[in-house]
Amino acid sequence: MTTATTTAAPASHRTPLPPSRLPKVGTTIFTVMSALAAERGAVNLGQGFPDFEGDPALVDAVGQAMREGLNQYPPMAGVPALREAVSRKIEALYGRHYDANTEITVTAGATQAIITCILAVVGPGDEVIVLEPNYDSYVPNIELAGGTVVRVALQAGTFRPDFDAIAAAITPRTRAILVNSPHNPSATIWRQADFDRLAEILRPTDALLISDEVYEHMVYDGEPHASASAHPELAARAFVVSSFGKTFHVTGWKIGTVAAPAPLTAEFRKVHQFNVFTVNTPMQHGLARYLANPAPYLELPAFYQRKRDLFRAGLASTRFRLLPSEGSYFQVVDYSAISSLPEGEFCQWLTTEIGVAAIPLSAFYDDGRNQGLARFCYAKKDETLQAALARLAKL
């Protein structure tokens, strides 16, 4: 008779574990809730991406670029034709001319754009102001750069900027402030007067602005998108981040742009060339051709406003209290008339028992505060929204 034995690995076969650069970071709430939704067969209104396809004409333009042999490395800063198309678009919409050669860079999505902005200008001892609730990549980006995160809360209930608190947070060590409009998760927007006030605060400082404008073409009810590009004083100190993935319903393509004055762009590209170097070539050529027609992005506000209105009308018969959805493709609801559960537990209950996945607002705060709020995404097919509403009608 033989006995199974276990042989211990030699002591040299160990995995050294260095100190974590991000010790507080785990699996994101978006991954957790999407996995739970899939497990329970829930309608996933949690993670912010469409469940419908982009324009076949855009896909065809990319395919044509591939067939033409445009499959090798493009210039580090991006295909010239795409940078020129972006320059024309920004000037037409916001009145500022960015030089395509020296002031516009094509990026591997907005997430890469933002971390590259931060790594380019933030170092140990520098402070960066973040307005909470905020998108989950901002804080880890700052920490990876060795910077210090300075959190300033948006006003409770309205999510409007608290400019007195922002001004009080400015110190000689402030390197930058991150602003996001239209805002994820609250779906509020900044207006021209807000940027005017921010300019007053930053005027006596050397602080930079990183303006996350990935939802720029999703602003509703006749409101214009207020871009930092359109504010000459702020544009002179701003990185402005945009996303083709969000605009054209192709989030998996991971392609965006950063527009900034030439000296800031030069610093940005020093980092960009070493963290991605460059971006998918045929997609860049396809997008350059597709941008010749402005209709797809000019018509986007009406496209998403109809979905917003459909979703809000369906929720009106529930006990949710609807917060305004001024922009983006999100809807925040107050569920305090339905449940007293903390936000994370409520969203898990909603997914498992009602069959609709949402994201707790607490996930966008460092302290995980509970305000009885959840975020839905309505960038979905009408039938998806109707299926979710039929389940939510139980509430």
Backbone angles phi, psi at 339, to 5 degrees: -155, 155
- pLDDT at site 377: 98
Contact predicate 282/71, CB 8 Å:
yes
SS3 for 367? coil
Residue with tokens 């966008």: 364
Q: Give CA 99 to chain center in angstroms.
A: 25
- pLDDT at site 160: 98
Query: Which tens digits make up the pLDDT trace of 177-226?
Result: 999 999 999 999 999 999 999 999 999 999 999 999 999 999 999 999 99
**Residue 59, CA distances (Å) to 64, 65, 285 in order:** 9, 10, 11
Which letter, b or e, does each residue of 356-389 get, where b requires 16 or more Cβ atoms within 10 Å of its Cβ? bbbbbbbbbbeeebbbbbbbbbbbbeeebbeebb
- pLDDT at site 15: 93
- pLDDT at site 5: 55
3-state secondary structure 247-272: HCCCHHHCCEEEECCHHHHHHHHHHH
- Beta-ladder partners of 256: 107, 243
Q: What share of the chain is helix, strand, coil (3-state, %, to 5)?
A: 40, 15, 45
Contact predicate 295/301, CB 8 Å:
no
Structural domains of the chain, with CATH: 29-48+298-392 (3.90.1150.10), 56-293 (3.40.640.10)
- pLDDT at site 26: 82
Strand order in the sheet with 256-259: 104-107, 256-259, 238-243, 208-212, 174-180, 127-132, 148-153
- pLDDT at site 213: 98
**Full-model pTM:** 0.95
- pLDDT at site 7: 61
- pLDDT at site 154: 98
- Mark the ranges of the chain whose per-residue pLDDT is less than 70: 1-9, 11
Closest CA to 248 of 85, 54, 93, 47: 54
Query: Which tens digits make up the pLDDT trace of 297-307?
Result: 999 999 999 99
Contact predicate 115/141, CB 8 Å:
yes
